Amino acid sequence: SVIGGGSWATALVKVLSDRNKVNWWVRKEETRDFIKQHRHNPNYLTDVEIRLEHVDVGCDLEAALSAGDMVVLAVPSAFLHPTMAGIKPGTLRSRTVFSAIKGIVPESLSVVGDYMHRQFDIPVDRIGVITGPCHAEEVALEKLSYLTIACQDTVRAEQLGSMLTCRYLNTAISDDIYGTEYAAVLKNVIAIASGICRGLGYGDNFQAVLIASAIREIKRFVDAVHPISRDINDAAYLGDLLVTAYSQFSRNRMFGNMIGKGYSVHSAQMEMKMVAEGYYAVRCIHELNKKHNASLPICNAVYRILYENASPRQEMATLSASLG
């Protein structure tokens, strides 16, 4: 079962339905009806044809969650708690749940895996993460792409990996669910910083230094939260950061670019008509880091710009003097 109606949900449904029966939950009845009539999502990745002979589209969340042994969550993190509010814990206890969400649940200040474990009593070894380096748009275009599937029970990760692996999509397996998930959250914040710098007129030379500093910042935080042996230069960490910070498809980079050009947060959100996960994530990371006290100069600068109305130009000028 795939839960969500956005780009990643659509891309995952496309890949999974090539060889599997998929139950797809979307929030709005008009979206469900459009997909059933036209075989396309009316709002996201509109060129992707939905194989309705393999896809059952509906708006009954409890039914979708109960329909399959494996559930993939692909709704924005800011809306996960209200989306799941009416679901009984027993509905998910015996299922394997993978999150394709790159954000933190604001109500609990926790990554999605922790939230699902505490809220629905799902064993940790039945919870996993789908992360990059990958954009849904390129998966939809069938461009060669890579995903990392993380779960403490790597057999479950391998099971989902085999379902997703195809001519244009490769998968790697990891047992680092906390590191990969927090890194996926932080790279969205960094992508906003990258976009702000682009909007302010900084060039590629500075961007290179910014991202080199950012991967060290991510390492400091994930090592503080979950200190295990990991290579931060692996694709799941560094690769995911690079594609999000540089790609034309990155919503967070686009959002930051608009902020750098002088848009207010509200006007940038309204014009994008899409969710930039990094906007919500940076506030949550700011609160979480009060406990861990990792050095996060880039994240702190983005937080002050977005939530304290600090000058983007002044914050990035101050930041640039400390990088390198």
Token pair, residue 55, equals 């896809």
End-to-end CA distance of the chain: 45
**Tokens 């899409």, located at residue:** 274
Calpha distance 302→298 (Å, rounded): 6
Token pair, residue 235, equals 């694709």
E-only strand ranges, 101-243: 104-105, 110-111, 127-131, 145-151, 169-174
Residue 21: active-site member: no
The catalytic residue among 36, 187, 219, 261 is 187
Calpha distance 272→37 (Å, rounded): 27
Calpha distance 121→308 (Å, rounded): 37
> Do 188 and 277 meet the contact criterion of CB atoms below 8 Å apart?
yes
Calpha distance 165→188 (Å, rounded): 25
Token pair, residue 88, equals 């009984």
Helix, strand, coil percentages in the chain from 3-state DSSP, rounded to 5: 55, 15, 30
DSSP codes, 284-314: HHHHHHHHH----HHHHHHHHHHHS---HHH
Bridge partners (DSSP) listed for residue 3: 25, 73
Q: Three-class SS of residue 25?
A: strand
Structure letter (DSSP) for residue 108: T
Structure letter (DSSP) for residue 135: -
E-only strand ranges, the chain: 2-3, 22-25, 55-58, 70-73, 96-99, 104-105, 110-111, 127-131, 145-151, 169-174
Catalytic residues, by residue number, are 187
